[in-house]
């Protein structure tokens, strides 16, 4: 892929990117990830991962398809039903949707927990600071006083009163091993991933095949809309969800959509 | 995309990546690009572009499909017929296939020319040095004493006795604007790009839809095989090529292949 070079994301501030630019979302995403790398919150490999994601998004048509919108509503219902919901934040999530994750945490009364593959104290601190700049009050993940079973030591670190104790976790852009280990712990897992056949969405209770930049605000919007719904209504939404259909529909869209 | 995290390319030396690893090519590619960024020869956006490419490669099955092999043979024939063939090198090409480009230049008696979108004297020097480490004797692109018509100033810079005067140019991972401008200059253009619908392969005389890591050594192998062919034989190879079919076949493979 090469056309990236003709639409430079090389602006100092994201407000310089014209919102009516046909590649607006892609430019915004690249700009945020690049700033994340520069700020030390995103690993260089995160830039590569984002590039992969952008190709799948291109194939999806760079829009929230109806089955993803439905999955986002189901995710909102799960989060509202949860007793201890936690939103997991890695370097790409922090770079791409820091304010959006803070807003979602607010809307569903969830905790935010920093959770990194390439875990260093500096990066964890930088990400926590970054989230606080966007309004986060409490950020978990710094204690790391519990372990997810069946994962190697570094990858397993979580907070005892955070992801470890959570009943519902949102793990956007999560890697397959950890997604699987969390599922084995019996958690209700909500994964956001642009490749419907990668392992994380396939093990998730709620796979959302959508760009995180569109998905997170949309989950928040659904949560606000459902704020007054009673438990029976939320359960009905959750029970009606067909995860296999969501994955299949996304795959069909990728195969048949405009390249 | 996330599974990148489970297969870390975080090794000090590429020889540490096991060749029988099912994701060997992807790991090797990411490792080389990451080193390129660290060495100052690859722009951070190159990591993103490589990620995009890797998604298309995944859809292609991460192999050289028969129509790409044919295009690589045609490219070899064009290079052998050329009077002034030039291989264009940008930051991703330098990071991914420095030795392979030097070998190809050798096999077809072509010049190497550094040609950057984000052009700075430091990056040009770093890339020229990098190519020399891999055995390049002469590296063009430092003079930049000619301009490609119909491109903005920075993007247009080339060497008068290099790309400007070339009859056949290999522009792997080229952006659409420049690919188009070179085509308008009447050059025979060979483009290597993993997305068959991006603008560069669509304007190229020879579009190669393949990973550059596989494509370049294969063009070299074809060139060696054709070293004793006479002009009539080379012309017959070149004339038999159907570029539309090459693009269509690659697109079909991407749509129907295993995700």
| Residue A257 pLDDT class (50, 70, 90 cuts) | low
Chain A residues close to B154, C-beta within 8 Å: none
A89 labeled binding residue = no
Which of A44, A59, A74 terminates a domain? The answer is A59
Give the sign of the dihedral formed by CA B46, CA B50, CA B51, CA B53: positive
| Residue A258 pLDDT class (50, 70, 90 cuts) | low
pLDDT at A4 (0 to 100): 38
Contact flag A2-B200 (C-beta cutoff 8 Å)? yes
Contact flag A51-B48 (C-beta cutoff 8 Å)? yes
**B155 and B109 part of one domain:** yes
- A251 touching chain B per CB within 8 A: yes
**A157 and A236 part of one domain:** yes
- B196 touching chain A per CB within 8 A: yes
**A73 and A40 part of one domain:** no
pLDDT at B174 (0 to 100): 82
- B197 touching chain A per CB within 8 A: yes
pLDDT at A11 (0 to 100): 66
- B63 touching chain A per CB within 8 A: no
The partner residue sitting opposite B51, judged by closest CB among A2, A37, A51, is A51
Contact flag B45-A5 (C-beta cutoff 8 Å)? yes
pLDDT in tens, A34-53: 899 889 999 888 888 889 99
Burial of A134 (0-12, 13-18, 19+ CB in 10 A): middle
Provide mean pLDDT across the span A136-153: 91
pLDDT at B151 (0 to 100): 87
Which of B59, B88, B104 terminates a domain? The answer is B59
Contact flag B2-A49 (C-beta cutoff 8 Å)? yes
| Residue B98 pLDDT class (50, 70, 90 cuts) | very high
**A48 and A115 part of one domain:** no
- A117 touching chain B per CB within 8 A: yes
Which of A36, A59, A82 terminates a domain? The answer is A59
**A100 and A206 part of one domain:** yes
Domain that holds residue B89: 66-256
pLDDT at B197 (0 to 100): 85
| Residue A5 pLDDT class (50, 70, 90 cuts) | very low
Q: CA-CA distance, A121 to A119, in Å (whole number)? A: 7
pLDDT > 90? residue A14: no
pLDDT in tens, B33-60: 989 988 999 988 888 888 999 989 988 8
The whole model's pTM is what? 0.84
**A229 and A132 part of one domain:** yes
**A152 and A202 part of one domain:** yes
**B41 and B160 part of one domain:** no
DSSP secondary structure, chain B, as one string: --GGGTS----SSGGGS-TT-TTHHHHHHHHHHHHHHHHTSS-HHHHHHHHHHHHHHHHHTSS--HHHHHHHHHHHHHHHH-SSEEEEE-HHHHHH-HHHHHHHHHHHT-EEEE--SS--HHHHHHHHHHHHHTT-S-EESSS--EE-TTS-HHHHEE-TTTGGG-SEEEEET--HHHHHHHHHTT-EEEEE-S-TTSHHHHH-SEEE-S-HHHHHHHHHHHHHHTTT--HHHHHHHHHT--HHHHHHHHHHHHHHS--
pLDDT > 50? residue B1: no
| Residue B65 pLDDT class (50, 70, 90 cuts) | very high
Identify the weakest region by mean pLDDT among A92-96, A220-224, B150-154: B150-154
**A76 and A171 part of one domain:** yes
Identify the weakest region by mean pLDDT among A170-174, A221-225, B3-7: B3-7
- B95 touching chain A per CB within 8 A: no
ipTM of the complex model: 0.77
Task: Give binding residues of B as ranges.
Answer: 30, 52, 193-195, 199-200, 211-212
Q: What is the CATH number of the domain that holds B223?
A: 3.40.50.12640
**A15 and A42 part of one domain:** yes
Chain B residues close to A254, C-beta within 8 Å: 259
Q: What are phi and psi of A15, to 5 degrees?
A: -70, -10
The partner residue sitting opposite B1, judged by closest CB among A4, A34, A56, is A56
**B130 and B211 part of one domain:** yes
**B26 and B77 part of one domain:** no
Contact flag A198-B2 (C-beta cutoff 8 Å)? yes
How many independent structural domains does chain A possess?
2
């Amino acid at each position: 892929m090469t056309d990236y070079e003709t639409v430079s994301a090389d602006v100092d501030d994201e407000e310089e990117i014209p919102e009516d630019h046909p590649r607006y979302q892609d430019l915004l995403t690249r700009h945020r990830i690049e700033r994340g790398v520069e700020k030390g919150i995103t690993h260089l490999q995160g830039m590569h991962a984002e590039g992969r994601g952008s190709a799948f998004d291109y194939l999806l048509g760079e829009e929230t398809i109806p089955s993803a919108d439905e999955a986002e509503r189901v995710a909102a219902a799960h989060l509202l039903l949860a007793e201890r919901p936690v939103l997991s934040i890695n370097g790409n999530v922090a770079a791409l949707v820091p304010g959006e994750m803070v807003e979602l945490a607010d809307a569903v009364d969830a905790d935010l927990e920093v959770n990194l593959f390439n875990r260093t104290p500096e990066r964890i601190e930088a990400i926590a600071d970054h989230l606080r700049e966007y309004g986060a009050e409490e950020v978990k993940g710094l204690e790391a006083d519990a372990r997810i079973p069946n994962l190697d030591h570094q990858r397993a670190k979580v907070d005892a009163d955070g992801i470890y104790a959570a009943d519902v976790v949102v793990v956007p852009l999560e890697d397959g091993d950890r997604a699987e280990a969390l599922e084995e712990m019996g958690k209700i897992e909500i994964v956001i991933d642009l490749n419907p056949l990668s392992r994380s969405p396939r093990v998730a209770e709620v796979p959302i095949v959508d760009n995180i930049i569109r998905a997170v605000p949309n989950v928040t919007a659904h949560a606000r809309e459902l704020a007054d719904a009673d438990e029976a209504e939320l359960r009905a939404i959750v029970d009606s969800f067909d995860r296999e259909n969501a994955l299949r529909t996304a795959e069909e869209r990728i195969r048949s959509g405009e390249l």
